[in-house]
Structure 1
Amino acid sequence: MSAAVDTAVEAAPSAAPGQARQTRWERLKSTEFDRAALARTVAVLPIGSTEQHGPHLPVEVDSLLVTEVARRAAERADAPVLVLPTLWVSLAEHHMHNPGSLTLDFSTLLAFVRCVVRSLQRQGYRRVLLLNGHGGNMAALTVIVDLLGVELAMPLATATYWMVAAPAFSRILEGQPNLLHACEAETSMVMHLRPELVDAAAACSVDAPPTGFLQAGGMHRWRNMAHWSASGVVGTPHLASARKGALLLEAAADALAVHLGDERLWAPE
């Protein structure tokens, strides 16, 4: 979390003109939730992970970054948005051979998300986004949205922030086309947000393949991270910089904000 977020002037969602609206769910008092705007408010659940990120980044990277992107996007969206507390553990079985990694199984992730979305629905919210910050969740969250969208009969969406911002990310990054793992993109964003958490020397010296995660001939099978990289890193972290990190975070927030305010995404069937 950036110091700018921590020290920003905060106000309720219905703040007076010129005041920053409060977008963080956990910072609001119960009496400050705008009940008149429930049906058009987008509730965003950031979903991160706690897993190894090589020798140069901490295990909180995915949770740190998806939280920051969600908050920035909420502040600039042309719609009322509330960002829920981040789910900090998800599907990271492929990292479990590395110390510090934690994982859920699919049924537990589904049960957690179902309970949160049901709670939101009971409160009157009708627009919910599961914002993903971990590659290992992508397929699972698509299935979860399909299941719960039908079960609860409400607009429910999921997005992975670097896929939403893919065109912009490809223009900013030099050594890779998009975000990989503990890579140029993630290292740059953490350098911008929390430089004290980055071991820059290790980022420059780590042995990492520049690409990975490809499935030959359209076939898929489960692989652990060691199959792709002995160091747990895929990409070009030696090319990272805080300047790129600032650009990447802005690009992700801008791209996501457009979708949050897009009425076509939330129109009932």
Structure 2
Amino acid sequence: MDAPTEWMKLTAAELGARAASGALLILPVASLEQHGPHLVTGTDILLAGAVALETARRLRGRGLDSVVAPVVWTGLAEHHMAFGGTVTLDSATFQALLRGIVGSAARAGFRRVLLLNGHGGNSEAIGTAATELAVTFGIRVAGCTYWHLVPEAIAPHLERQLGLMHACEAETSLVWHVLPEGVRQERLPEAHGPMSTRVPGQPSGLLMRRSFREASASGVIGDARVASAEKGERLLASIAEACAEVLANPALWGEAG
């Protein structure tokens, strides 16, 4: 039987041995928030965890060891608060939470950590955390938002979108595959919205968080009406395979310091 991948299913001694042997620690980071009329509030938690575990499985197929930590279930979601069903942290608390987890992992012996983000509102903060934590603890820390890391693995599977958005064709399909009861199928006819949260004339380089209530009456960005479980299965496999290919690059993981 293969050794467990999940931190919480390993003993302290087993974790220490895996860390000492050079295992990569994957820390999924997510959010608990509204996802339109049709998806459960735990969507980002489910998907960050699923991508992390499937990526770890595919790394193992390449002969590379990794351990997946429990999902950090809350993040920076102020822009969803107007819809309810959302928990948010402030930036300082979020950074302190990541510092505590990564610091503990470093003390347990891990020398390589990936912050695998599954919530758009965390993206900029994850980049900041990866830089600061690497310096603080003297280890290799990488950070990414999975659909930004491997957009080429997502676009070919979608009919009405160019990439993953929010409560959209991609996220709905993925949840349908991972947790079918997480999709309220009777609400799918309402599950569509604009294709961007940006106002006309706002370039991609101009960052401005605004309430999703201003951008979308439904809380959806994209179009979930063409989602399917089959599409979700293909998406997860494609995303995880592409993530594993990136992470297997030995040039990423030289000695820190």
**Runs of 4+ in structure 1 over 6 Å off:** none
Scaled by the length of structure 2, what TM-score is found?
0.92
Deviations 1:52-110 (A, max 9, x none): 00100010000000101100111110311000011100000101111210001111111
Question: What 5-or-longer segments of structure 1 have no aligned partner?
Answer: 1-18
The residue aligned with 1:183 is 168
The residue aligned with 1:21 is 3
Q: Which amino acid in the other structure matches residue 20 of structure 2?
A: L
Question: What 5-or-longer segments of structure 2 have no aligned partner?
Answer: none
User: What is the SS of the residue equivalent to 2:154?
Assistant: helix
Kindly state the Cα deviation for residue 138 of structure 1 after the two structures are TM-superposed: 0.4
The residue aligned with 1:193 is 178
CA distance in 2, matches of 1:231, 1:144: 32
Scaled by the length of structure 1, what TM-score is found?
0.88
Q: Which amino acid in the other structure matches residue 250 of structure 2?
A: E
Kindly state the Cα deviation for residue 207 of structure 1 after the two structures are TM-superposed: 4.6
User: What is the SS of the residue equivalent to 1:136?
Assistant: helix
User: What is the SS of the residue equivalent to 1:89?
Assistant: coil
The residue aligned with 2:156 is 171
Q: Which amino acid in the other structure matches residue 26 of structure 2?
A: V
Compared CA separation, residues 138 and 36, structure 1 to 2 (3 A): closer
Where do residues 44-123 of structure 1 align in structure 2 (5 Å cutoff)?
44-77=26-59, 78=62, 79-123=64-108
Deviations 1:119-172 (A, max 9, x none): 111121100000000000000111111122222222100111112221121111
Compared CA separation, residues 206 and 118, structure 1 to 2 (3 A): closer
CA distance in 1, matches of 2:196, 2:223: 9
> Between Structure 1 and Structure 2, how many residues are aligned?
251
Compared CA separation, residues 126 and 39, structure 1 to 2 (3 A): farther
The residue aligned with 1:43 is 25
Picking from 242, 246, 260, the partner of 2:229 is: 242
CA distance in 2, matches of 1:69, 1:36: 21
User: What is the SS of the residue equivalent to 2:82?
Assistant: coil
The residue aligned with 1:8 is none
Kindly state the Cα deviation for residue 211 of structure 1 after the two structures are TM-superposed: 3.4
Where do residues 141-220 of structure 1 align in structure 2 (5 Å cutoff)?
141-213=126-198, 216-217=202-203, 218-220=205-207
Kindly state the Cα deviation for residue 36 of structure 1 after the two structures are TM-superposed: 6.3
User: What is the SS of the residue equivalent to 1:96?
Assistant: helix
Instruction: Please provide the CA RMSD for this pair.
Output: 1.6
The residue aligned with 1:11 is none
**Seq. identity, %:** 40
Q: Conserved in 2, the CA contact under 8 Å of 1:131 and 1:161?
A: yes
User: What is the SS of the residue equivalent to 1:231?
Assistant: coil
Q: Which amino acid in the other structure matches residue 49 of structure 2?
A: T
Compared CA separation, residues 174 and 80, structure 1 to 2 (3 A): same
